[in-house]
Structure 1
Amino acid sequence: MRIEEFNILYAIHKLGISFSKELIAEKTGYGLSEIDGVIEVLKNKNWLDEDITDSGYAALDEYKVDNAIIMAAGFGLRSLPLSRYVPKGLYVVKGEVLIERQIRQLLEAGIKEIVVVVGYLKEQFKYLQDKYGVIIVENDDYYRYNNISSLYASKDYLKNSFICCSDNYFNVNIFEEYVYDSYYSCKYTKEYAEEYCVTKMEGDYIAEIHKGGSNAWYTIGEAYFSKSFSSIFLKYLESEYENSETKKMLWDDFHIRHIEELPLLLVKYDNTIVQEFDTVEDVAAFDPDFRKYQDRILESNANTAAKLPTIFVKYDDVERYNSAVTDQHSGRLHLNENTFGPSPKCMDVLKEIRVQDLYEYDMASKDFLVEEISKVFSIPEDDIYIHNGSAELIKSVFSITLERGDSILVSNPGWSYYASLAREKFCNVYYYDVLKDDYAYYMDVEDILKKAKQHQPKIIVITSPHNPTGCKIDGNVLEMIIKENPDSLVLLDEAYWGFSEENIDVRRLVETYTNIIISRTFSKYYGLANMRVGYGFCNSKVKHIFGLDLPLFRESTLSRRMAVAAMHEEIYYEDVTHKLNEIKTWFMDELNQLSGVRVFQSCSNFVAVKIENADMQKIREILKENGILIRLFEDKEEVIARITISEMEIMKRTVDIFKENL
Structure 2
Amino acid sequence: MNACESILGLSPYQGGKPIEELARELCLTKISKLASNENPLGISIKVKKAINDSLSSINRYPDGNCFELKKAIATKHNVTSEMISLGNGSNELLELIARVFVSKQTDEVIFSQYAFVVYPLVTQALGATAVVSPAKNFGHDLDSMLSMITTYTKLIFVANPNNPTGTLLTDKEVYNFLKQVPEGLPVVLDQAYFEYLNIDDSAIQWLSEFSNLIITRTFSKAYGLAGLRVGYSLCSPLVADFINRVREPFNVNFTAQVAAIAALKDDDYLSESIKVNSDGYEQLVECFKSLHLNFIPSHANFIAVEFDDAMDIYNALLKEGVIVRPVEMSGYLRISIGTFEENAHLIAALNKILC
Fold match by TM threshold 0.5: yes
Match of 1:231 in 2: none
Match of 1:633 in 2: 327
* Equivalent in 142, 145, 151 of residue 448 of structure 1: 145
Looking at structure 2, the residues matched to 660 and 332 of structure 1 have their Cα atoms a distance apart, in angstroms, of: 18
- Describe how 1:368-387 pairs up with structure 2 within 5 A: 368-387=68-87
Letter of the structure 2 residue corresponding to residue 643 of structure 1: I
Match of 1:271 in 2: none
Letter of the structure 2 residue corresponding to residue 618 of structure 1: D
Cα gap change, 1:634 to 1:534, in 2 (>3 Å): closer
Looking at structure 2, the residues matched to 592 and 352 of structure 1 have their Cα atoms a distance apart, in angstroms, of: 47
| CA apart distance, 1:411 | 1.4
1:212-245 Cα offsets, whole Å, 9 max, x none, are xxxxxxxxxxxxxxxxxxxxxxxxxxxxxxxxxx
Looking at structure 2, the residues matched to 479 and 581 of structure 1 have their Cα atoms a distance apart, in angstroms, of: 27
Decide whether the 8 Å contact of 1:474 with 1:504 is kept in 2. no
Looking at structure 2, the residues matched to 340 and 553 of structure 1 have their Cα atoms a distance apart, in angstroms, of: 28
Decide whether the 8 Å contact of 2:6 with 2:126 is kept in 1. no
TM-score of the pair, normalised by structure 1: 0.49
TM-score of the pair, normalised by structure 2: 0.90
* Equivalent in 579, 585, 599 of residue 282 of structure 2: 585
Match of 1:419 in 2: 120
Q: Is 1:623 matched with 2:320?
A: no
Q: Is 1:321 matched with 2:12?
A: yes
| CA apart distance, 1:432 | 1.6
**Secondary structure of 1:483's partner?**
helix
1:458-497 Cα offsets, whole Å, 9 max, x none, are 1111001100011122222222222222242111111112
Root-mean-square deviation over aligned CA pairs: 2.1
Looking at structure 2, the residues matched to 354 and 623 of structure 1 have their Cα atoms a distance apart, in angstroms, of: 38
Match of 2:303 in 1: 607
Q: Is 1:484 matched with 2:168?
A: no
Letter of the structure 1 residue corresponding to residue 306 of structure 2: K
Cα gap change, 1:604 to 1:327, in 2 (>3 Å): closer
Decide whether the 8 Å contact of 1:318 with 1:424 is kept in 2. no
Looking at structure 1, the residues matched to 149 and 351 of structure 2 have their Cα atoms a distance apart, in angstroms, of: 44
Looking at structure 1, the residues matched to 243 and 288 of structure 2 have their Cα atoms a distance apart, in angstroms, of: 44
Cα gap change, 1:507 to 1:478, in 2 (>3 Å): same
**Secondary structure of 2:206's partner?**
helix
| CA apart distance, 1:358 | 2.1
Looking at structure 1, the residues matched to 276 and 54 of structure 2 have their Cα atoms a distance apart, in angstroms, of: 32
Looking at structure 2, the residues matched to 417 and 348 of structure 1 have their Cα atoms a distance apart, in angstroms, of: 33
Gaps of 5+ in 2: 21-30
**Secondary structure of 2:135's partner?**
strand
Looking at structure 2, the residues matched to 496 and 659 of structure 1 have their Cα atoms a distance apart, in angstroms, of: 29
Cα gap change, 1:484 to 1:363, in 2 (>3 Å): closer
Looking at structure 2, the residues matched to 634 and 553 of structure 1 have their Cα atoms a distance apart, in angstroms, of: 33
| CA apart distance, 1:315 | 4.7
Q: Is 1:566 matched with 2:263?
A: yes
Decide whether the 8 Å contact of 1:321 with 1:417 is kept in 2. no
Looking at structure 1, the residues matched to 7 and 96 of structure 2 have their Cα atoms a distance apart, in angstroms, of: 22
Match of 1:659 in 2: 351
Match of 2:39 in 1: 338
Q: Which has the higher contact order (CA 8 A, sep 6+)?
A: 2
Q: Is 1:393 matched with 2:130?
A: no
Looking at structure 1, the residues matched to 109 and 4 of structure 2 have their Cα atoms a distance apart, in angstroms, of: 24
Looking at structure 1, the residues matched to 4 and 274 of structure 2 have their Cα atoms a distance apart, in angstroms, of: 48
Looking at structure 2, the residues matched to 356 and 403 of structure 1 have their Cα atoms a distance apart, in angstroms, of: 39
Match of 1:528 in 2: 225
Looking at structure 1, the residues matched to 319 and 117 of structure 2 have their Cα atoms a distance apart, in angstroms, of: 26
- Describe how 1:641-656 pairs up with structure 2 within 5 A: 641-656=333-348
Decide whether the 8 Å contact of 2:161 with 2:194 is kept in 1. yes
| CA apart distance, 1:368 | 0.4
Looking at structure 2, the residues matched to 511 and 367 of structure 1 have their Cα atoms a distance apart, in angstroms, of: 22
| CA apart distance, 1:553 | 3.2
Letter of the structure 1 residue corresponding to residue 217 of structure 2: R
Letter of the structure 1 residue corresponding to residue 177 of structure 2: I
Report the count of equivalent residues.
342
Larger displacement relative to structure 2 (529-538 or 350-359): 350-359
Gaps of 5+ in 1: 1-307
- Describe how 1:71-90 pairs up with structure 2 within 5 A: none
Cα gap change, 1:456 to 1:480, in 2 (>3 Å): farther
**Secondary structure of 1:336's partner?**
coil
Looking at structure 2, the residues matched to 464 and 433 of structure 1 have their Cα atoms a distance apart, in angstroms, of: 16
Match of 1:431 in 2: 132
| CA apart distance, 1:361 | 4.1
Q: Is 1:458 matched with 2:154?
A: yes
Higher strand share: 1
Cα gap change, 1:356 to 1:313, in 2 (>3 Å): closer
Looking at structure 2, the residues matched to 542 and 316 of structure 1 have their Cα atoms a distance apart, in angstroms, of: 27
Looking at structure 1, the residues matched to 13 and 311 of structure 2 have their Cα atoms a distance apart, in angstroms, of: 19
Runs of 4+ in 1 over 6 A off after TM superposition: none
